[in-house]
A and B are shown apart, each in its own frame.
Chain A
Amino acid sequence: MGVILPSAVIVSTLADTPIADLPALLVPALGETLAMVGIVMLVVVLVGTPTAVCLHNMAPGGLFENRGVYGVLSWIVNIGRSLPFLVLMAAIVPFTRFVTGTNIGIAAAVVPMSLAGIPFFARLVENCLRDVPRSVTQAARASGGSPLQIIRSAQLGEAVPAILGGLTINTIAMIEYSAIAGTIGAGGIGYVAVTYGYQRFDHTVMIATVVLLIALVTAVQLIGDGLVRATTPHLRRR
Chain B
Amino acid sequence: MISLKQLTKVYGRGPDAVTVLDRLDVDVASGEILAVVGPSGAGKSTLAQCINLLERPTSGQVVVNGEDLSGLPEHKLRVARRRIGTVFQSASLFSRRTAAENVALPLEYLGVTPAEAKARVAELLERVGLSHRANHYPFELSGGQRQRVGIARALALRPSVLLSDEATSGLDPETTRSVVSLLRELRDDLDLAVVFITHEMDTVLHVADSAARLDRGRILEQGRLVDLLTDHDSALGRALQPQLSPAEPGTGSRAWYVTYDSRTVPADWLQRVSADLGEPAALLAATIQNIGGTSTGNATVGLASADAARVEAAFARHGLRAALRPVARSGGTTAAAGTAAPAAQADSAPEAPAPDHTLDTTPKEAALWA
Contacts and interface: CB of A to CB of B under 8 A. Distances in A.
B95 interface: yes
B81 interface: yes
Interface in B67-81: 78-79, 81
Contacts, number: 75
Interface in B232-267: none
A233 interface: yes
A135 B138 CA distance: 15
A143 B105 contact: yes
Interface in B54-110: 54, 78-79, 81-82, 84-86, 88-90, 92-97, 105-106, 108-110
Nearest to B97: A157
Interface stretch (A14-22, A52-60, A145-153, A214-222): A145-153
B153 interface: yes
B157 interface: yes
11 contacts: A135-B89, A136-B94, A138-B88, A139-B86, A139-B92, A139-B93, A142-B86, A144-B157, A157-B96, A160-B96, A233-B95
A135 B88 contact: yes
Contact of B88 (A139, A153, A157, A160): A139
Given A144-B82, A234-B137, A138 B92 contact: yes
Count chain A CB atoms within 10 A of each CB in B54, B92, B97, B106 and give the residue with the most.
Answer: B92
Contacts of A154: 94
A203 interface: no
A169 interface: no
Nearest to B52: A142
B278 to A, nearest CB: 61
A83 to B, nearest CB: 36
Pairs of residues from A and B, 7 with the lowest C-beta to C-beta distance, nearest first: A135-B92, A143-B106, A233-B137, A139-B92, A142-B86, A234-B139, A145-B109
A143 B153 contact: yes
Contacts of B88: 135, 138-139, 142
Contacts of B157: 143-144
A149 B111 CA distance: 11
Contact of B81 (A144, A153, A232, A233): A144
A158 interface: yes
A23 interface: no
B94 A153 contact: yes
Interface string A191-232: 000000000000000000000000000000000000000011
A25 interface: no
A81 interface: no
B137 A142 contact: no
A149 B94 CA distance: 14
Residue from the set B86, B88, B90, B96 with the largest chain A CB neighbour count within 10 Å = B96
Given A138-B54, A140-B105, 16 more contacts: A135-B90, A136-B93, A136-B94, A138-B88, A139-B86, A139-B153, A142-B88, A142-B154, A143-B106, A144-B109, A144-B157, A145-B109, A146-B109, A153-B94, A157-B94, A160-B96
